[in-house]
Amino acid sequence: MIRVHTISLGCPKNRVDTECMLGQLGAAYVSAGTPEEADLVLINTCAFIQPAVEESVQTILQIAHDLRHSSQRPLMAVTGCLPARYGVNELARELPEVDLWLSLEDQDGFAQSLSEHFNVPPSGQRRLVTTGPGFAYLKISEGCEHRCAFCTIPTIRGPLRSIPRQELADEASRLEEHGVRELCLVAQDLTAYGRDLGWKKNGLIPLLDSLLQSTGVEWIRPMYMYPSGVTRELLRFIHQSGGRILPYIDVPLQHAHPDILRTMGRPFVGDPRRVVDRIRSELPHACLRTSLIVGYPGETDQHFRSMLALVREAKFWHLGVFCFSPEEGTVAHGLPGQVPEEIKEQRREELMQVQAEISKEAMSQWVDQRIQVLVDAPEPEWPGLFRGRTWFQAPEVDGISYVSSLQARAGDMVWAEVVDSMTYDLSTLALEED
């Protein structure tokens, strides 16, 4: 048996990679709650922007510091975007605390790479899901075909590589067999799926159709859809799915002003209101989520005000706002007109204050209504209270729905009445039979 403590930083796509590596250990795997209890500490790093790099390095150093007096120090293995961005050899010199560095290519041979340290019998297990009983992420592609001026992903992860449709349908079926009731589809751009396989447009539609046909999963949640790929055909297909493909449209606009979008190299340079209007015309009751970047080089107060106006007009239910980070190796790193950090932060706070009021109003409209809630986990300090999510709340990035229940268990899908709302969260009471 190998007691493993895992730390997966960054996006859900990294989480899937971690789960696939753990799956290679099969029956030899045992979860360790702390690094001190482990035989192996596996850290899957993020290096998308400099703060993520710093978090990854700090995590490695903190774990090494905490284990310095351990009588039986566990093996520390590090993989992910950090070695992909900076190289295994350079990092091995800079961070000798790490025992085993794994490139992205090495992840498929994770179990074999441990053979010098542990006895790992061959495993036929594809993946070990770590997200709990109710939901799982389904990564449908790797890499990216876009060349946004601020983004390091194509350098780190390479070009678009879509996972074959049948392989994804088979994995979805296996996840359903293990009790998964929600599949969250993730990729750098879901709408680019299949272009490398010959689909010039709307390749996501046949994949979604395969998932509908091959599984009975109640909720299929598409995340990270580029504006240029959110076509009327795709929206109509979602509408015709009978609610199984959730009308949750996560479309990262990144900015509102065409001048900034053009210098960003975004695939959708025109007025972002057009894609918002398109979504609302085809899916009037859709939940819209987006992400925006403040402080991009050359962003004036006028540019920022146009973004503020878009947020007020579009009334996104969920919004992520990030300060621009000038990353080495990207076009945006050397652009003139870099915005001071304090102005970036001021703009981010102003956007989030506006969004808080919009979200508060959106949540209040659900009070006294009945909704389905997917129960994720019990609240440790409150017996009879659970954390869950409804259809417009994606895991780990949106608000939550608290559920009061005497019968619920993690992984249950329950009907509940909304009794109160907060800025981002809901409070519900499960409708239980006597």
Question: What are the chain's domains?
Answer: 2-113 (3.40.50.12160), 135-364 (3.80.30.20), 370-430 (2.40.50.140)
At 46, the pLDDT band (50, 70, 90 cuts) reads very high
CA distance 181 to 136: 8
Statement: residue 139 has pLDDT above 70: yes
Q: What is the pLDDT of residue 244?
A: 95
Q: How far is CA 184 from the centre of its chain?
A: 9
Average pLDDT over residues 253-261: 93
**Would the pLDDT of 269 be above 60?**
no
434 pLDDT exceeds 60? no
Residues 6+ apart with CB under 8 A from 322: 291, 292, 293, 294, 348
Q: Which pLDDT band, with edges at 50, 70 and 90, does 200 fall under? A: confident
pTM metric for this prediction: 0.92
Q: What is d(CA 404, CA 384) in angstroms, rounded to the nearest whole number? A: 6
* 30: pLDDT strictly greater than 60: yes
Distance of CA 286 to the CA centre of its chain: 19
Q: In 283-368, which residue ranges form alpha helices assigned H by DSSP?
A: 301-314, 341-364
What's the pLDDT at 267? 64
Identify the pLDDT of residue 270.
Answer: 67
Strands of 2-8's sheet, edge to edge?
Answer: 29-31, 2-8, 40-45, 75-80, 100-101
Query: Looking at residues 25-36, what average pLDDT do you find?
Result: 88
Structural contact between residues 137 and 15, judged by C-beta atoms closer than 8 angstroms: yes
Sorting pLDDT into bands at 50, 70 and 90, what band is 358? very high
Rounded to an integer, the average pLDDT of 150-175 is: 93
Element (H, E) at 161: strand 161-162
Which tokens belong to 397?
Answer: 């990035």
User: What's the average model confidence in pLDDT over 58-83?
Assistant: 90
- What is the mean pLDDT of the segment spanning 374-387? 92
Q: Would you say how long the chain is, in residues?
A: 434
Q: 432 pLDDT band (50/70/90 cuts)?
A: confident
